[in-house]
Structure 1
């Protein structure tokens, strides 16, 4: 089977032979079998897991490129009366280790009614939208995608959600 073994960043390649349309969860991979939209089967086989960004190119062994397209998915977008209020909301989101896309005047999260209720309770305005989800990768990503840390909550903060 044809393998894709490297990724070209968005804007650093041209002329894709095919494309895969993936939601955020499906864009965080190391090894996975895909059938691109045009029917091309291939195996993603990267040295380590990473988050594929919208516009990235997957380089096949024969030199052809398959485009990565971020699929639209159900999200919530939260805004606030001012920057200080949005900053406080961002702190609560971060305290819960939720993946979030920071847009300057708004924050996007995966749709979750419990989180939406919490955000409203903090004074945020929450709007349901459908859009590609491109959250921040985190301070420890090192260029390879999301930092995942697993713990037993012994570090003293609460994860109620």
Structure 2
């Protein structure tokens, strides 16, 4: 099963200058809890912004760059490698970036969306969520304990 896990602002910004323009420790803890032990798939720019493979997960990088290699990651050069996961019950997480989210949203069956209660400028955006997705849970967080902004984590299923 293809699952997206993403954080974005009210205007769907997910990044600016290859970074997330916010600091939300509670959301990072949710990300870790949700993805640990599962494969995570990301574009090359997302991998480079993280700077290393994330521990406790199989890290897969999708890139058109045929020469790309990095220690601790599996490299795919084509989205067709996702096909075995589309109808599988095994959950794999797409963690970014914007181009990969847009290309794979039609394949996704579940979304974990952190909606940050602010509007920020950015150069990468998440697409509109199709109406076929329904909210199945949500948790509200205040802007306390190091979190820059209040936010809501929603799970969508279709």
Shorter-chain TM-score category?
A: under 0.3
More strand by share: 1
Higher-RCO chain (CA-CA 8 Å, sequence separation at least 6): 2
Structure with bigger gyration radius: 1
Q: TM-score, normalised by structure 2?
A: 0.21
